Amino acid sequence: MIIFPAIDIIGGQCVRLVKGDYATASKVAEDPLETARKFEAAGAEWIHMVDLDGAKAGYPVNTEIYKNIAQNTNLKVEVGGGIRTLETIQAYLDLGIARVILGSVALKNPQLVADAIAKFGAEKIVVGIDAKNEMVATEGWLETSEVHYIDLAKEMMKVGVRTFIFTDISKDGTLSGVNAEQLRKLRDATEGQCNIVASGGVHTIDDIIICRDLGLYGTIAGKSLYQGTLDLAEAIQKAETMTIRSMKIEDYDALYAMWVACGNGLNNLDDSREGIDKYLKRNPETSFVAEENGVITGAILCGHDGRRGIIQHMCVSPQFRRRGIGHKLVKRALSALKAEGINKVLLVAFKANALGNAFWEAEGFTLREDLNYRNLALTDMIRLDPEY
């Protein structure tokens, strides 16, 4: 589970509200960039940011702050508040923002959400569902609709949304604990097809454990970090449910089933049990599986010939996608190859598609149309480690 430390901005200042009431805004930190750097130093990989001025105005107000953090830290930044057009989404993504949060517009203009998913992909778009007494609130929580939060989630799923941030406004900024009941209802209603991020009420490490045990994708922590009731490093450690270990031939049946489910190109020779066994014996230290509670959720089959690394298969179970597992597997494999003196890595048996290309390009791979592995007529990619 991902821990998202939060920075909300009003007038360029880091603030927190109580139950979404702007009149309760209180300054919680001096400088947004330095605050973000402290979160990064504690181990955070993501940061959750909200333009509260933008949420009220209906257009972005504090853009420079988010740009500064995205470009001067290694944090992946998600931003919400006042995002109402495709042009605004594009502008944020062009600044290096990892993904944007659509809130009020999801209820008032669902076609925009559908268009955003179609244009930018589900990885870049998050829908924030904020509720008072289970009814969706909009316009910086200043208006309450007659739409139930579960109904909105189901409608958004129909247009391709795969990540939701759910906030029980009555809990937000109160340090009174997360609303586990409403989170469980949303988890069950989305039937494992979506990432659920909990927001509002996080107080102590117990809330992190509750969200982790619910199987949520992430939890946002704000006031608890600033007031010291929650330690970010401890929260990150407690939230981790995934382990990465070396691949074994005993994993074969689970791996093969996952490769088939993911639509990986397979052949009877190399991808048979005997073929994989030989592969692992040649390169016993460079292939890995990810596990969640004993279930294999992803795998990377990787070896080398003494000159270059070869990624034969890399996939994540459809049930567990969008949790960063793929990137962590690639990072572990590249580190293992580097330890064996390999700095050139070729990705093979890869069917070109926009989503896959974006994933591998984010890992530093470059498309090479002139490479053709075993005449499979697939697009290959190659990476040269810049440190060598």
Q: What tens digit of pLDDT does each residue of 208-228 get?
A: 999 998 888 899 999 999 999
**pTM of the model as a whole:** 0.73
Other CB atoms within a 10 A radius of the CB of residue 229 amount to 15
Set out the domains of the chain in order of their start, with CATH numbers. Answer: 2-239 (3.20.20.70), 242-384 (3.40.630.30)
φ/ψ region of 167 (left if φ > 0, alpha if ψ in -120 to 50, else beta) reads beta
Say what the pLDDT of residue 373 is.
46
The gap from C-alpha 227 to its chain's centroid, in whole angstroms, comes to: 26
Tell me the pLDDT band of 386, cut-offs 50, 70 and 90: low
Between β-strands 195-199 and 163-168, what pairing exists: parallel, antiparallel or unpaired? parallel
Between β-strands 13-18 and 21-29, what pairing exists: parallel, antiparallel or unpaired? antiparallel
Between β-strands 380-384 and 76-80, what pairing exists: parallel, antiparallel or unpaired? unpaired
pLDDT 10s digits, 327-379:
899 999 999 999 999 988 888 655 556 666 677 777 887 766 555 444 433 34
**21 part of the active site:** no
Average pLDDT over residues 263-284: 86
pLDDT above 80 (res 99): yes
Cβ-contact 351, 378 below 8 angstroms: yes
Say what the pLDDT of residue 355 is.
64
* 58: phi then psi, degrees, rounded to nearest 5: 90, 10
Say what the pLDDT of residue 168 is.
87
pLDDT 10s digits, 135-181:
888 765 566 778 999 999 999 999 999 899 999 887 767 778 899 99
Tell me the pLDDT band of 304, cut-offs 50, 70 and 90: very high
Average pLDDT over residues 57-67: 92
Tokens of 219: 């939890």
Average pLDDT over residues 271-282: 93
Alpha-carbon distances of 247 from 67, 120, 299, rounded to whole Å: 40, 34, 8
Q: Which residue in 8, 51, 251, 271 is the catalytic one? A: 8
Say what the pLDDT of residue 379 is.
44
pLDDT 10s digits, 20-48:
677 888 888 889 999 999 999 999 999 99
Burial of residue 98 (CB within 10 Å: 0-12, 13-18, 19+) is middle
Say what the pLDDT of residue 352 is.
58
pLDDT 10s digits, 253-265:
999 998 888 777 6
**130 part of the active site:** yes
pLDDT above 70 (res 52): yes
SS3 (DSSP) at 105: helix
Q: Which residue in 51, 53, 130, 271 is the catalytic one? A: 130
